[in-house]
């Protein structure tokens, strides 16, 4: 059976019948891309410092073309290019990464309630990040200390989950979920103990901010690493879209379609863990993006992973850019954790989807 046949059969089986796409994919993708570009400009223009949009556009143009600036524009230029722009770009990268890995993890464990954090990677990263924030560990790494420590502990968590979940028969969805959940509780307990043991109140507040997700520490140094990892993950998942369709149908079906489920599951585990560990290391644990956006994408374009993986990253990037704008402008100059806003949006949206699409969440057809 050819790869195209595998994709057609699996898409039909995933959708529960003939594949019907409610929204044409190409116009939707172009529209989301245009909206994302406009949102990136808005993300740079909006803030507490009151730099107008025309001035922001002029500063962006000067930075891109090497144009001259007046001496009194130096402060505004630094705000736009060194603070707002890397933060907005990183928000888009993180949103795209979380949405794409959410799609992959839901296929990996065949569970509509799965998200990138179900494997315990984010909880493991939190231990490393809080070791820096609360106790000054790895201070010699300077501005890279938090990201490096969080990513290192995320890799350790990934290794522990893999070793604990694997059996002589390979990785199974249920064991992955149970192992990831159990270790998440353990990592969360370790993080809580570290917060209680810290003797500085401001450090505990910083740790809590990181646990709820924040893009306030974005720099141009962190953007390329996160962007390259997310793009590589997206490319890999896009090439594996047909096999994802088959895997989502179960091991027997995927094997009959020529896809080795155990090998595919190991492959997805490594890819999703690497992307999740990278984005969590630079942004903290931002919830609901990887859970909600894949379901929205499927509602729009159907269940085929090739289409979903075109729409979900753009939708995730768009969502997180505007959530970040809200987190830093609504109570300016104070800043709220990004995860607070994603939860405020995600909880009612998810409950509404459960009521309207009950068959996809364990209800009756």
Residue 146 token pair: 């938090």
Residue 16, pLDDT score: 40
In tens, the pLDDT along 290-337 reads 999 999 999 899 889 999 999 999 999 999 999 999 998 888 777 888
* pLDDT at 42 exceeding the cut of 70: yes
Query: Residue 363: what pLDDT?
Result: 54
- CATH homologous superfamily of domain 22-119+208-361? ABC transporter involved in vitamin B12 uptake, BtuC (1.10.3470.10)
Of 138-147, 180-189, 298-307, least confident by mean pLDDT is 138-147
- Mean pLDDT for 147-173 is 86
Residue-level pLDDT at 13: 46
Condensed to tens digits (0 to 9), the pLDDT of residues 250-279 reads 888 888 888 888 899 889 988 998 899 889
pLDDT computed for residue 10 by the predictor: 47
Tell me the Cα Rg of the chain: 21
User: How many C-beta atoms surround the C-beta of residue 314 within 10 A?
Assistant: 24
Instruction: Please write the tens of the pLDDT for every residue from 50-87.
Output: 777 888 888 888 877 777 777 777 888 888 888 899 99
For 49-53, 83-87, 161-165, 183-187, which range has the lowest pLDDT when averaged over its residues?
Answer: 49-53
Res. 344: pLDDT tops 80: yes
The residues, ordered by sequence, that sit 6+ positions from 22 with a Cβ below 8 Å of its Cβ are: 299, 300, 301, 302
Residue 115 binned pLDDT confidence (cut-offs 50, 70, 90)? confident
Q: Which residues contact 59 (CB under 8 A, 6 or more apart)?
A: 51, 69, 73, 76, 77, 80, 81
* pTM passes above 0.85: yes
Cα–Cα–Cα angle for 281, 284, 288, rounded to 5 degrees:
125
The answer on pLDDT for 93 being more than 50 is yes
Q: Is the pLDDT of residue 228 over 80?
A: yes
């Amino acid at each position: 059976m050819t790869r195209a046949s595998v994709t057609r059969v699996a898409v039909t089986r995933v959708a529960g019948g003939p594949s019907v796409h409610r929204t044409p994919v190409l116009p939707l993708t172009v529209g989301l891309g245009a909206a994302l570009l406009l949102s990136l400009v808005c993300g740079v223009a909006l803030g507490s410092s009151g730099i107008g949009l025309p001035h922001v556009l002029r500063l962006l143009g000067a930075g891109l073309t090497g144009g001259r600036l007046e001496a009194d524009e130096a402060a505004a230029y630094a705000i736009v290019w060194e603070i707002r722009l890397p933060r907005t770009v990183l928000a888009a990268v993180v949103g795209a990464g979380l949405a794409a890995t959410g799609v992959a993890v839901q296929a990996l464990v065949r569970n509509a309630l799965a998200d990138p954090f179900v494997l315990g990677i984010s909880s493991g990263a939190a231990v490393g990040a809080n070791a820096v924030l609360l106790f000054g560990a790895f201070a010699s790494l300077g501005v890279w200390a938090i990201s490096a420590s969080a990513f290192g502990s995320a890799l350790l968590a990934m290794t522990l989950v893999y070793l604990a979940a694997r059996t002589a028969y390979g990785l199974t969805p249920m064991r992955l979920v149970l192992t990831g959940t159990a270790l998440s509780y353990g990592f969360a307990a370790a993080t809580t103990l570290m917060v209680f043991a810290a003797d500085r109140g401001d450090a505990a507040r910083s740790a809590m901010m990181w646990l709820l997700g924040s893009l306030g520490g974005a720099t141009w140094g962190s953007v390329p690493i996160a962007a390259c990892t997310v793009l590589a993950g997206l490319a890999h998942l896009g090439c594996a879209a047909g096999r994802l369709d088959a895997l989502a149908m179960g091991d027997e079906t995927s094997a009959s379609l020529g896809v080795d489920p155990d090998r595919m599951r190991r492959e997805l585990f490594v890819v999703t863990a690497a992307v999740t560990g990278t984005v969590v290391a630079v942004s903290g644990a931002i919830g609901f993006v990887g859970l909600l956006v894949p379901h929205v994408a499927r509602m729009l374009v159907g269940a085929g992973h090739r289409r979903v993986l075109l729409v979900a990253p753009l939708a995730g990037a768009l969502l997180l850019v505007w959530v970040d704008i809200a987190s830093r402008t609504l109570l300016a100059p104070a800043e709220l954790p990004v995860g607070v806003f994603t939860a405020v949006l995600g909880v009612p949206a998810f409950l509404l989807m459960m009521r309207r699409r009950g068959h996809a969440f364990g209800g009756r057809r």
